[in-house]
Amino acid sequence: MDPAPRVDAGDETAAERAPAPRAAPERKRRPKRDLDGWVLLDKPVGMTSTQAVGAVKWLFQAKKAGHAGTLDPLASGCLPIALGEATKTVPFVMEGRKVYRFTVRWGVQTDTDDSEGKAIATADERPSREAILSILDEFRGEIEQVPPQFSALKINGERAYDLAREGIEVELVARTVIVHSLDLVEMPDADHAVFETECGKGTYVRSLARDMGQRLGTRGHISALRRTRVGTFAEEELVPLATLRAISEAMDDAAPMQALRPVSIGLDTLPSLRVSPADAARLVHGQPIILRGRDAPILEGPVAITAGGRLVALGEAEAGEIHPKRIFHSGK
């Protein structure tokens, strides 16, 4: 099966592969508008991240949209979609840990390391529960991991997936990634095992499946994948695309605004600083402010700045000063 499209948004945990042309459905023209906030989408299987962003952007009639971490068509789950001013907070969301639940199919290795690719190696061996548990520690913590051949990594200016589609083999260099946890959840049958992992930016779950298979004396690839968390965005907060469409249709194609979350949730992992209206005005005009007084907070690095309960700016704290880096005009 031909690989499906990917967008390289800096998060390389999921599969990114080259686009297969398809006819876009006809849609009636809708006026675009400035709209700011997050939509925590539960992406369905069979849809690319690019298509998901396009669908949400159209439903909300938003002028600007992006996502915080690619999910391949095989995968479902947490795809945070930023609209308008929220796109300024995407890098901070993408730095957060991701949690995945995935199923490995033993005995077959594919060229894409998932079920969308073609088989390139097989093995008769099937690992026992004890064997699987005995090797998990080797895949926890800081590990060296070779990305899949079908990935968005650039090699001499070309995407690895483009080269792979042309049949050009390239040697990808192992990279250090962090796997915070990796646990065996269940073994429904001899051919399959379900795992859950929490990992950092740049980790390929497909590579985990491939490497565990080889380490266990067999082969393996991902047959099912669901992302349940990105940073502070959890599975129970997600809204299915079908639900968004149903809400919109019930309101005569109006935007499903009840699913729009504030811009500020993209900065929930950062320390927050409340400032006076006067200091807020300085920051908005690109001027730094000084943290004065005995009770002034001690801050270093990125900080979310609010005034009167409204998000004003993203700043950088250094030596008692706050320098504005991004200004938010929506105030949400």
Q: Which residues are known to be catalytic?
A: 72
Q: How far is CA 315 from CA 37, 53, 82, 262, 312, in A?
A: 19, 28, 20, 18, 9
Contact 69, 204 (CB under 8 A): no
Helix (H, G, I), strand (E, B) or coil at 303: strand
Number of H helices, E strands in the chain: 7, 19
Structure tokens at 23: 């006819």
Handedness of CA 89, 90, 95, 100 (dihedral sign): positive
Q: ∠114-115-119 over CA atoms, to 5°?
A: 90
Question: Which string of DSSP letters, residue by residue, matches 247-290?
Answer: HHHHTTT---GGGPBPGGGGGTTS-EEE--HHHHHHHHTT--EE
Q: What are phi and psi of 330, to 5 degrees?
A: -80, -30
